[in-house]
Amino acid sequence: MKPHEHRAKMMDFEEYVRTRHDALLRSARRLVGDPLDAQDLLQTALLRMYRRWDGIADRQLADAYLRRVMINTRTEWWRARKLPEFPSAQLPDTCVDDSTEQHADRMVLMDIIKKLAPQQRAVVVLRHWEQMSTLETAAALGMAPGTVKSTLHRALAQLRQELQYRDPSCRPA
């Protein structure tokens, strides 16, 4: 690549990051709960995307491509973790600093979402937080639309079950 071509590529990519950074960081924060991990995830995904920037012919698909890279990166991190698991009859109490109900509900939801498998979490995040259609989600994740639907159905059932386990008042009468 010639120096002027490299400079043009870099300027184009920098403009993309500058205009889309906040929305992309929100997407990363939905995939990983910790804000610092979300920043790391986004930076790693942006680096990987920059290497392929010239291959993205339709820049309108750049967000979808980056989300896919973030999901793949998050899955790699999840698979690479070596955390011991210890069965427990009782979950530890959670502490919520903010006393507002909305914040508490969000914290519980984020904690419960962490229990989903990476693919299930990705489908839930893209369908419900990013408000992508089934077809858009399927394209972003490289899945068939039917797989998105069945994965979402199982994930939501698991989330409902976990919520009922944590809060007996949510159990059906």
pLDDT per position as a tens digit, 62-108 = 888 899 999 999 988 888 776 666 677 776 676 555 455 665 666 77
Domains located in the chain, CATH noted: 1-80 (1.10.1740), 97-173 (1.10.10.10)
* 103-160 pLDDT tens trace: 566 677 777 888 889 899 899 888 887 888 898 899 888 999 999 999 999 999 988 8
Q: Does residue 101 or residue 23 have the better pLDDT?
A: 23
**Could you give the CA distance from residue 35 to residue 39 in angstroms, rounded to a whole number?**
6
pTM of the model: 0.48
Burial class (CB in 10 A: 0-12, 13-18, 19+), 126: buried
